[in-house]
Amino acid sequence: MSGLIEHTLRGTWTPSGGSAAPLSPRALRWLRQRIGLAETTTPAVPASLLEVPDSALPEAAREELAALLGEQHVLTDATARLGRAGGMSYTDLMRRRSAEELAVPDAVLLPGDPELVQAALEVCVRHDIAVVPFGGGTSVVGGVDALRGSKAAVVSLDLARLDRLVSLDPSSRIAVLQAGMRAVEAESLLAAQGFTLGHFPQSFERATIGGFAATRSAGQASSGYGRFEDMVTGVRLATPAGEWRLGVAPASAAGPDLRQLAVGSEGALGVITEVAVRVRPVPVHSRYEAFVVDGWQGGVDAVRALAQNRVLADVTRLSDVDETEVQFELAGAMKVKALQFLLRSKGIRQPCMLVLGWDAGSRAELARRREATLGVLRSTRAVRLGRAVGETWRSHRFSGPRQRDALLDRGVCVETLETATHWTGISELRSAVRNALVRSLRSGGKKPIVMCHISHAYETGASLYFTVLAPRSAQDPLGQWQQAKRAASDAIAGRGTISHHHAVGADHLPWLAEEIGGIGESVLAAAKQAVDPTGILNPGKLIRPAR
Ligand SMILES: Cc1cc2nc3c(=O)[nH]c(=O)nc-3n(C[C@H](O)[C@H](O)[C@H](O)COP(=O)(O)OP(=O)(O)OC[C@H]3O[C@@H](n4cnc5c(N)ncnc54)[C@H](O)[C@@H]3O)c2cc1C
């Protein structure tokens, strides 16, 4: 039940058990010079100062839910409700820092098993109450915002108590996990039996199995282990129309794959209560290394060659020049000047860092796979930085969000967004999004830092992941980012996907039709009508009501 406590700490990312990642004096100096930093800090506002409206949950509904789930599992106190008021985007965190008005659920429901989730939904249908499924609450697209749509009340249905490993079939290599299980716990329970999921998104420390399935998440090792939807072999959903189970075989020609309708349904088509996932043996050996290639296009060509020759390392991450510079500067551990000198002497003018990581069951397999990757990489004249830099990246791979807390404290607007497209258009898309962000966030003669990396590569294209650091507007911090995000989304529309792995939520909904067409939107609305005819499930996210 530690998950329940964590949700009250939502002004910052750093989990209660984890250490914060402060900015080194050197990093602070560099940032002050590049983008300017606030002299005063702006820490998170204590929960006691945040506005919490009275609960609008009708008493008759509360009583029925309490009789079903137990009094202690229907929470209407301000702390519990505030803890589920939104996700963990820059906008969410800033709202909590500036005591802005938050969309707070009227109650938090904590059912303890799939049958109770189903029964709770039925009560909510009878009382016409909106339901927002809540996993780790790490959505960065408004996915867990407590929007009530046309309903008088909205509850957050927190899956934290559905945290069991239901079964493990070592022969078929399938594990059935309850949806509220955190990734960290899933990995440790599976590891105890010799298996891993291999799903390591940057939100690994907080996010849940159900959340991954609901958002089509992608982890840092997606090149080797696949995206989360590639791992899902079956799902169990509670819907207002009844329980829905999908996935009886590894593959099927019985019409379209409806599992893929449930995966990515963002709580709008049902509450996922169990997920059957493909697991793999825990790797016995692994190796992470860093390389530097000259220039973004050189790096893109290298990653494309690895993907198309099917020799991608499990982790394949290419940073552009700006991200490489920030990694060198903020890491603090490297002798930046000496490194730049060394790279120049090897003909590298525009250093772009490429991190590669391989997992294997034996030394021989590791050597074979690494040699296959490096064989293709050799033709690109990449310079090897070595294992130490690669291993440093691996050991810090979940700490980026913690540094976000320190940056927020210092008055920095720090946020990420992502997209994906085919190789042909990838550099054009990067330039278009980059230019849109720089134009929108330039202020007082200082340019923002806009960084980009590829961390999910395919034979036909790749994702682009942008991170922005800009001086925060003192007058309108939320408006500043919303305008930049709009500019970036307009630049993406027609060129790439509006979301490669962060999902649609409320934030990307205005751009969805551009990607899936009016017919696509009607298909989604029809599916919703079939499973959720009164529209209680996650209103305002992913699916517009049928017109
Ligand atoms: C710092 C940071 C780093 C991130 N890095 C990554 C990354 O590397 N890769 C990546 O893919 N994502 C990343 N994300 C986004 C986010 O972590 C993912 O979308 C994740 O899958 C959400 O999981 P969650 O359990 O926190 O879900 P939540 O945030 O609780 O919910 C996300 C959406 O899914 C719905 N939902 C949750 N659980 C269920 C359920 N059981 N049934 C039905 N609907 C449900 C919610 O209603 C909501 O719409 C990052 C987010 C942050 C803040």
- Token readout for 515 is 């990607």
pLDDT at 275 over 60: yes
In angstroms and rounded to an integer, the radius of gyration of the C-alpha atoms of the chain is 23
* Terminal Cα-to-Cα distance of the chain (whole angstroms): 42
pLDDT at 18 over 80: no
State the pLDDT at residue 405. 84
Instruction: Look at residue 505 and tell me if it is in a domain.
Output: no
271 sits in which H/E element: strand 271-278
Together in a domain, 75 and 141: yes
State the pLDDT at residue 3. 45
Tokens 């609960």 correspond to what residue?
55
Return the ligand 1 atom nearest residue 180 CA.
41
Domain end point (choices 141, 158, 175)? 158
The DSSP secondary-structure symbol of 416 reads: E
Instruction: Look at residue 515 and tell me if it is in a domain.
Output: no
Which positions are catalytic? 465
Tell if the pTM clears 0.80, that is, is over it.
yes
CATH number of the domain residue 480 falls in: 3.30.300.330
Q: Looking at this protein, which amino acid is placed at residue 441? A: L
Together in a domain, 321 and 382: yes
Residue 224 Cβ < 6 Å to ligand 1: no
Evaluate whether 330 touches 403 at the Cβ level (below 8 Å): yes
For residues 353 and 372, give the distance between their C-alpha atoms in angstroms, rounded to a whole number.
Answer: 20
CA–centroid distance, residue 448 to ligand 1 (Å): 27
- Token readout for 89 is 């985007």
State the pLDDT at residue 19. 64
In terms of C-beta distances under 8 Å and separation of at least 24 residues, what long-range contacts does 440-448 make, across chains too? Answer: 440/483, 440/484, 440/487, 440/488, 441/413, 441/468, 441/470, 441/480, 441/484, 443/470, 443/471, 443/473, 444/36, 444/471, 446/34, 446/35, 446/36, 446/471, 447/35, 448/35, 448/413
Q: Known binding site: residues?
A: 133-139, 266-272, 404
Instruction: Look at residue 152 and tell me if it is in a domain.
Output: yes
State the pLDDT at residue 23. 81
Nearest Cα neighbor of 401 from 5, 4, 20 is: 20
State the pLDDT at residue 202. 95
Give percent of the chain with pLDDT exceeding 70: 94
11 pLDDT band (50/70/90 cuts)?
Answer: low
Mean pLDDT across 350-372: 97
Together in a domain, 385 and 422: no
Evaluate whether 111 touches 155 at the Cβ level (below 8 Å): no
Pocket test for ligand 1, best of 132, 139, 265 (most atoms within 8 A of CB): 139
Nearest Cα neighbor of 88 from 49, 129, 142, 131 is: 142
Together in a domain, 271 and 291: no
State the pLDDT at residue 100. 72
Pocket test for ligand 1, best of 203, 239, 272, 415 (most atoms within 8 A of CB): 203
Instruction: Look at residue 509 and tell me if it is in a domain.
Output: no
The DSSP secondary-structure symbol of 423 reads: G
Residues 6+ apart with CB under 8 A from 414: 90, 404, 407, 408, 467, 468, 469
Q: ∠ at Cα 201 (198, 205), nearest 5°? A: 100
How high does pLDDT run on average in the chain?
92
Q: Please give the order of strands across the beta sheet that includes 351-360.
A: 383-386, 285-294, 351-360, 315-319, 449-454, 461-471, 412-422
Residue 401 Cβ < 6 Å to ligand 1: yes
pLDDT at 471 over 70: yes
Residues 6+ apart with CB under 8 A from 384: 289, 290, 291
CA–centroid distance, residue 155 to ligand 1 (Å): 18
CATH number of the domain residue 73 falls in: 3.30.43.10
Neighbours of 151 (CB within 10 A): 20
CA–centroid distance, residue 455 to ligand 1 (Å): 18
Residue 211 Cβ < 6 Å to ligand 1: yes
pLDDT at 78 over 60: yes
Residue 144 Cβ < 6 Å to ligand 1: yes
Together in a domain, 176 and 260: yes
Pocket test for ligand 1, best of 6, 131, 138, 230 (most atoms within 8 A of CB): 138
pLDDT at 153 over 70: yes
Instruction: Look at residue 512 and tell me if it is in a domain.
Output: no
Residue 274 Cβ < 6 Å to ligand 1: no
Together in a domain, 173 and 294: no
pLDDT at 529 over 60: yes
DSSP labels, 316-358: EEEE-HHHHHHHHHHH-SS-HHHHHHHHHHTT-SSEEEEEEEE
Together in a domain, 379 and 440: no
Domain end point (choices 104, 136, 158)? 158
Mean pLDDT across 520-531: 97
Nearest Cα neighbor of 317 from 400, 196, 234, 406 is: 400
Helix 296-308 to helix 426-441 angle (10° resolution) is 140
Together in a domain, 294 and 387: yes
Together in a domain, 276 and 295: no
Return the ligand 1 atom nearest residue 505 CA.
49
Together in a domain, 423 and 381: no
Structural domain range at position 207: 165-281
CA–centroid distance, residue 162 to ligand 1 (Å): 16
Mean pLDDT across 86-113: 90
Residue 272 Cβ < 6 Å to ligand 1: yes
State the pLDDT at residue 443. 75
- Half-sphere exposure in the Cβ direction for 497 (13 Å, CA): 17
State the pLDDT at residue 5. 47
Q: ∠ at Cα 207 (248, 152), nearest 5°? A: 90
- Token readout for 494 is 């027609």
Residue 154 Cβ < 6 Å to ligand 1: no
Together in a domain, 14 and 125: yes
Residue 538 Cβ < 6 Å to ligand 1: yes
Mean pLDDT across 133-155: 97
Backbone φ/ψ region at 505: left (φ over 0), alpha (ψ -120 to 50), beta? left
Instruction: Look at residue 535 and tell me if it is in a domain.
Output: no
Evaluate whether 315 touches 223 at the Cβ level (below 8 Å): yes
For residues 80 and 410, give the distance between their C-alpha atoms in angstroms, rounded to a whole number.
Answer: 28
Q: Looking at this protein, which amino acid is placed at residue 33? A: Q
447 pLDDT band (50/70/90 cuts)?
Answer: confident
- Token readout for 160 is 């934290």
pLDDT at 9 over 70: no
Provide, for the chain, the percentages of residues in helix, strand and coil under a 3-state DSSP scheme, each rounded to the nearest 5: 40, 20, 40
Give me the number of domains the chain comprises.
4
Mean pLDDT across 413-428: 97
pLDDT at 131 over 80: yes
State the pLDDT at residue 236. 98
Mean pLDDT across 315-335: 84
Return the ligand 1 atom nearest residue 200 CA.
8
CA–centroid distance, residue 436 to ligand 1 (Å): 26
Q: Known binding site for substrate: residues?
A: 404
223 pLDDT band (50/70/90 cuts)?
Answer: very high
State the pLDDT at residue 7. 57
Per-residue pLDDT reduced to its tens digit, 401-411 = 888 888 888 88
For residues 65 and 74, give the distance between their C-alpha atoms in angstroms, rounded to a whole number.
Answer: 7
State the pLDDT at residue 333. 53
CA–centroid distance, residue 19 to ligand 1 (Å): 22
Instruction: Look at residue 66 and tell me if it is in a domain.
Output: yes
Residue 222 Cβ < 6 Å to ligand 1: no
CA–centroid distance, residue 207 to ligand 1 (Å): 6
339 pLDDT band (50/70/90 cuts)?
Answer: confident
pLDDT at 507 over 60: yes
State the pLDDT at residue 349. 93
Together in a domain, 113 and 187: no
The interface predicted TM-score (ipTM) is 0.99
Among 10-24, 219-233, 294-308, 478-492, the least confident range: 10-24
For residues 98 and 235, give the distance between their C-alpha atoms in angstroms, rounded to a whole number.
Answer: 39
Q: Known binding site for FAD: residues?
A: 133-139, 266-272
CATH number of the domain residue 307 falls in: 3.30.70.3450
State the pLDDT at residue 331. 66
Residues 6+ apart with CB under 8 A from 368: none
State the pLDDT at residue 214. 98
State the pLDDT at residue 10. 63
Instruction: Look at residue 510 and tell me if it is in a domain.
Output: no
pLDDT at 344 over 50: yes
Residues 6+ apart with CB under 8 A from 510: 489
Neighbours of 29 (CB within 10 A): 13
Neighbours of 140 (CB within 10 A): 22
Of 332 and 172, more confident: 172
Residue 357 Cβ < 6 Å to ligand 1: no
Return the ligand 1 atom nearest residue 400 CA.
1
Mean pLDDT across 107-119: 98
- Token readout for 102 is 């938050």
Domain end point (choices 281, 315, 350)? 281
Backbone φ and ψ for 233, nearest 5 degrees, come out as -105, -15
Using alpha carbons, list the distances in angstroms from residue 174 to 282, 384, 441: 14, 38, 47
